[in-house]
Chains A and B, each alone.
Chain A
Amino acid sequence: MIDRAVARPVPKTSTYVDTAPFWEAAKRGKLVLQFCKDTNQFQHYPRPVSIFTGSRNLEWREVSGTGVIYACTVIRVPGPGLEGRLPLSVATVELDEGVRILGNIVDTDPDRVSIGQRVEVTWDRLSEDVRYPAFRIL
């Protein structure tokens, strides 16, 4: 696992639902996502209810962090917090647990990233103590 030092804006957390477990786990280099205990399925982003049943019988569980690139693009225009990061590789990653997450693909020329590539989670450092999941090609 690589820890990458990049000064980036730190988002306000738990604004809509309690996301503290995600951020706390990230500090330890673990990716946890919301899990519906009734149907044994993951969902992401975090919701107030299970998207499968509408119940609140949810918990946070660690995922493998490995998956495949489902869609990808390269951001080429400036935006807040993107200073020094362009061109920026962005992908929709379908994790092996059957859930999708948006992430940056690091350590690879953005023009060489393509759908179908296997990836694993790695960690960007937003600040001294805040880490954020990114992915690298396996």
Chain B
Amino acid sequence: MAKKRDIVIAGYSETPVEFKSGRSAYDFGGEALAKLLQSTGIPKSEIDGMAVAAPLSECPNPFFPMYMAEALGLSPKWLNYSGTGGCSATGGIARAASAIRDGLCETVVVLCADAPSTAWRANYGAYRGEFQEPVGVQGPPASFGLLMSRYHHQYGIKSEALGKIAVTQREHALHNENALAKFKTPLTMEDYFNSRVIADPLRLLDCVMFCDGANAFLVTSEKRARALGLRKMVFPTAYAEITNLHGDRSCPDITETGFSAIAPLIYKQSGLSARDIRMFQPYDDFTIAVMMQFEDFGFCERGQGSDFTLATDLSRTGTLPLNTGGGQISAGQPGLASGGLNLAEAVRQMFGEGGGRQVKDPKNALVTGIGVIPFARNWGTSAALILEA
């Protein structure tokens, strides 16, 4: 790595060390941040990046990436541990690209593996026990029921549009050999409307199901790839993410998502616009998230998601092929390896390996990620990646 003098450490802070303090990692972290802001004098609003260590007090296994390297017999010169859930795959590609450009490593595997339907050891903790669970908001469906109610209040939801997303993606899953066997039966609009409402207006068929699975991606320079004899490759030409949009507001408009903030960034980086996107592989934990992304990425105006969905051919042969492998809703959500499912489908299509569901002229793809459901908002992290041939 060439000697560079362009980056500095321009501040530091530290809390006293205590034994059995009765305090949490959040509270210590808050003290360290407050002191850092005080000693540097910069406003909090200047901070637009954050690196956080996995703590023993909050993570059942904070050394997971090291154990994974040991299990696989790998000796990486760069190791990244994602805490962004469904953004881990797309975010992993971007972080790997940065590390490779900086000369830290040459050839990276971005690996997402999870098995929560076999073993659930997570503790989302934080405020949830005191301020969310007692009122019955115990998982993503309740939070999305609240979000949908607000979206419907402001813009209106046509249920048949959400049904169309579910039905279209199910049809795609029928051609996906990796999809969960349970989902490999066709779905009709009647089935959708007959499915149970679990958190009004959210229906069972609007939701993903937690399963087990993994995906992996090889990231390296084009030069290195060619030297290794690799002939199929796609170029990540744009990436952006944002966590906790409007995190310094008590009453933001929750129908405004992080995607609306990052869409202009990826279009600017790639020089593409919504009309240039050949296929859309959006993170799909819930159908409404897909519909809101149509708006956020400029396929239609804000609030026009239902009409756009109903007016657009979203099949693999249509004008905007949508989650051509069935997405998570119809292939199954492999825990927090979730975002990699949408990404793997994009790469597969662009490699021309889509088989019975191959999209013609797969020149580019827009892939997104969503990470964590926060307190009374929409979602925590939004990530978007454009791949080009």
Contacts and interface: CB of A to CB of B under 8 A. Distances in A.
A15 B254 CA distance: 27
A73 B125 contact: no
Given A17-B24, A52-B248, A76-B198, A104 B127 contact: no
B250 A75 contact: no
B199 A76 contact: yes
A13 B137 CA distance: 17
Interface residues on chain B, size class? 35 or more
B127 A46 contact: yes
B133 interface: yes
A45 B145 contact: no
B212 to A, nearest CB: 22
A76 B135 contact: no
Interface stretch (B26-34, B113-121, B284-292, B351-359): B26-34
Contacts of B254: 71
Contact of B26 (A16, A103, A104, A115): A16
Interface of A: 8-9, 11-13, 15-17, 19, 22, 41-49, 51-56, 70-77, 79-82, 85, 88, 90-92, 94, 98-104, 115-116, 126, 132, 134
Contacts of A134: 135
Given A71-B150, A76-B199, A102-B135, A54 B37 contact: yes
Given A56-B31, A79-B136, A134-B135, 8 more contacts: A17-B27, A41-B250, A53-B43, A71-B254, A80-B138, A90-B145, A102-B132, A132-B134
Contact of B136 (A44, A70, A75, A115): A75
Contacts of A101: 131, 376
| Interface secondary structure of A, over-half rule | loop
B106 to A, nearest CB: 38
Contact of B153 (A55, A80, A85, A115): A115
Interface in B196-212: 196-202
